[in-house]
Structure 1
Amino acid sequence: MGVLMKIEIEVDIKSSGDVFHELFGSKPHHVSNITPDKVHSCEVHEGEFGKPGSVVFWHYTVDGERCTAKAVVEAIEEENKLVKFKIIEGSLLKEYKSFTVTLQVVDRGEITAVKWTVEFEKFDDYGPYPVKLMDFIVGMTRDIEAHHLKE
């Protein structure tokens, strides 16, 4: 039996949190224009961008390794500024039985944060933690923030 794990990280941002929610919720194909060294493309395979139940296919590079992820958009919640992707195929499932990524914008008055949660199931107790992926996520968040602060 696998080991279920969860890692959360919050990245404080100076740009609007709504930008992150809109970008990942309805325009994930624009991420590659903002951070092309990390995310190369996001294509819709079933459904349409911005709709729960849609299937999107990501091409990205983590720590010099080209990766792919086919994901179902499980949730897009406007009121909670939340977007949730469940990975159903790709590089991550070579190391994990299951993998889910959730992005949520957290407003705390003068501070806004992007909260990333990864939930994953290891094949065994000694399986790896997705440390490189978390570094990738922080870097991508900073790239998106810098892009929007320039506008």
Structure 2
Amino acid sequence: MTVHGKMEIDLEIRAPADRFHNVFSCRPHHISNISTDKIHGVDLHDGSWGKAGCVISWSYTHDGETKVAKEVIESIDDEKNSTTFRVIEGDLMKLYKNFVLIVHATPKQGGGSVVHWALEYEKLSEEETEPYSLLQFCVHVSKDIDLHLMEQAQAQTQA
């Protein structure tokens, strides 16, 4: 029997929503240079960076283990600063029949943004635990990206 689930979390960041969104939608391959202890590589397998339908693979460390995931970017909504990834191969497919990650950034009044992560999944077994640690992993990577974007903005201001 499969079990459907959805986990969501919001976090506030200082970076503008459009710049944060641009990292996931158009430049995910830069994340391995931003969050080096978590993301080790992001490679394009098919399509073009920044285009829905492209296939990318991630090498990352989660829960102390090196893992891989191949994903298709299902949709990019630049107006809503939202990107949807569907996992099609890799370590997560050992536990889940379907796994989708949605990251959405909303501008906050007065500056900064709220990043909303949603994980939608179908477990292969009822006994499998919920992906809480993966949701926290997404939060930590988001914080790394926020710090990087703010350091970039500060460097540009000082130049």
Report the residue type matching 1:105 in the other structure.
A
In structure 2, C-alpha distance between the alignment counterparts of 1:77 and 1:31, rounded to whole Å: 19
User: Which amino acid in the other structure matches residue 82 of structure 2?
Assistant: L
Q: Which runs of 5+ in 2 are unaligned?
A: 153-159
**What is the alpha-carbon root mean square deviation over aligned residues?**
1.1
What is the count of residue pairs matched by the alignment? 151
How many angstroms does 1:76 deviate by?
0.4
The residue that corresponds to 1:32 in the other structure is 32
TM-score using structure 1 length: 0.95
**8 Å CA contact 2:12, 2:114 repeated in 1:** yes
Moved segments of 4+, more than 6 Å: none
Partner of 1:101: 101
Gaps of 5+ in 1: none
How many angstroms apart in 2 are the aligned matches of 1:81 and 1:149? 18
Query: In the alignment, does 2:139 pair up with 1:138?
Result: yes
| Structure 2 CA distance for aligned equivalents of residues 95 and 2 of structure 1 | 10
Q: How far, CA to CA, are the matches of 2:14 and 2:108 in structure 1?
A: 12
State the one-letter code of the partner of 1:128.
T
Question: What is the distance in 1 between the residues matched to 2:27 and 2:124?
Answer: 33
TM-score, normalised via structure 2 length: 0.91
Partner of 1:85: 85
Q: In structure 2, what is the Cα distance between the partners aligned to 1:124 and 1:95? A: 8
